[in-house]
């Protein structure tokens, strides 16, 4: 926090104008740049780190240079104009995600459309809406003690109706989830309904574009057997990986057309974006898919469906040398049909939004 205090002191004479996160900016020294939090600009972050270590004394010319780089504030955070090549994942958010206890799962076999093992996907979250007839419209994934990752379309226009986030759920109709093993009943701890402090939607969310959001919980949760965070592909060797198949999980529509009472999992094949575009156009997709998106599904009538929105799509891999489950996608806005042969589902490409995620995780 000393770095931020030093920066605020230096730019205190500059007009505190608002800026749009990630917007284009221009300075005499670096030319074209983008407006990002100071911690996300490596040269600036390194400079202020050294500055605080040497007592914070700078020359008038250095002060003027820093003031010229300041491009405004967004959500109360000072932003700086940075060379796009020098933008780094925000160290504050990154430090939270670099958690060796993420992505620990107990499922050893996944079969299409079958019930998940109890506590097998402990990062699953349910958004609870103030709607007695349909309180569970969307899902999400726990990525830290205080943040849930979900889809923006689950929140936009519904902020006042989302009353809590439920963690540790398996079967929605029971107050406590149990199973019998060798004639002995074993139960998971009770679910936890957590209040909401803040919704953070991508400022450029439009339909299938930038359909991503964070929910900041009103308290830190304690990780337990049935409540644990999922991993995100924050390491370079994972960020660009593509898999032939992915695992999806949720309480969405089943073959009966109703939402599932129990958490279900399925394996879906990855589909090239260009092929996905062609498949979905007759069903109403008018937008062009790009690096923001992943496509999967359309095989054996298995797909994410209504009620799965906001939930994770991922796969198991080595995460910093250890086997972990890593989230690569978020179930995005659906079309009119789901579970249709040769019709893929659209997912938010999480790797493409790691910068946004780490920049918007307020760390205290």
Give the residue numbers marked as catalytic. Answer: 153, 211, 309
Q: How many Cα atoms within 13 Å fall on the side-chain side of residue 113?
A: 13
CA 296, CA 270: separation in Å to the nearest integer?
Answer: 4
Terminal alpha carbon distance of the chain = 10
CA 2, CA 295: separation in Å to the nearest integer?
Answer: 43
CA 84, CA 66: separation in Å to the nearest integer?
Answer: 17
As a whole number of Å, the CA-based R_g of the chain is 22
CA 223, CA 186: separation in Å to the nearest integer?
Answer: 19
DSSP symbols for 53-70: HTTS---HHHHHHHHHHE
Contact 103, 317 (CB under 8 A): no
Tokens of 38: 């100071």
Give the list of residues 6+ apart from residue 301 with CB closer than 8 angstroms, or none. Answer: 255, 339, 340, 341
């Amino acid at each position: 926090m000393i770095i931020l205090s030093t920066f605020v002191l230096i730019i205190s004479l500059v007009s505190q104008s608002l800026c749009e996160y990630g917007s284009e900016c221009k300075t005499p020294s670096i030319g074209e740049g983008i407006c990002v939090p100071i911690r996300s600009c490596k040269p600036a972050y390194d400079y202020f780190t050294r500055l605080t270590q040497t007592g914070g004394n700078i020359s008038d010319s250095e002060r003027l240079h820093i003031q010229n780089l300041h491009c405004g504030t967004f959500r109360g955070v000072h932003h700086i104009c940075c060379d796009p090549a020098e933008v780094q994942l925000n160290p504050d958010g990154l430090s939270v995600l670099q958690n060796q206890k993420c992505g620990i799962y107990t499922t050893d076999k996944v079969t299409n459309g079958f019930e998940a093992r109890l506590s097998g996907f402990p990062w699953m979250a349910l958004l609870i809406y103030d709607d007695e007839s349909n309180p569970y419209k969307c899902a999400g994934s726990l990525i830290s003690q205080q943040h849930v990752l979900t889809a923006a379309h689950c929140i936009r226009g519904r902020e006042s109706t989302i009353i809590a986030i439920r963690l540790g759920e398996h079967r929605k109709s029971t107050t406590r989830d149990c199973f019998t093993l060798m004639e002995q009943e074993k139960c998971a701890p009770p679910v936890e309904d957590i209040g909401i402090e803040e919704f953070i939607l991508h400022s450029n969310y439009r339909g299938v574009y930038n359909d991503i959001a964070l929910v900041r919980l009103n308290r830190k949760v304690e990780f337990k057997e049935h409540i644990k965070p999922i991993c995100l592909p924050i390491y370079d060797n994972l960020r660009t990986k593509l898999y032939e198949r992915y695992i999806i999980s949720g309480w969405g529509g089943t073959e009966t057309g109703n939402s599932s009472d129990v958490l279900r999992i399925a394996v879906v094949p990855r589909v090239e974006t260009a092929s996905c575009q062609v498949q979905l156009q007759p069903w109403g997709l008018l937008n062009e898919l790009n690096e923001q998106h992943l496509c999967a599904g359309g095989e054996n009538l298995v797909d994410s469906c209504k009620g799965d929105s906001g939930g994770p799509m991922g796969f198991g891999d080595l995460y910093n040398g250890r086997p972990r489950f890593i989230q690569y996608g978020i179930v995005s806005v659906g079309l009119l049909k789901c579970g249709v042969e040769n019709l893929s589902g659209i997912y938010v490409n999480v790797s493409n939004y790691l910068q946004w995620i780490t920049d918007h995780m307020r760390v205290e």
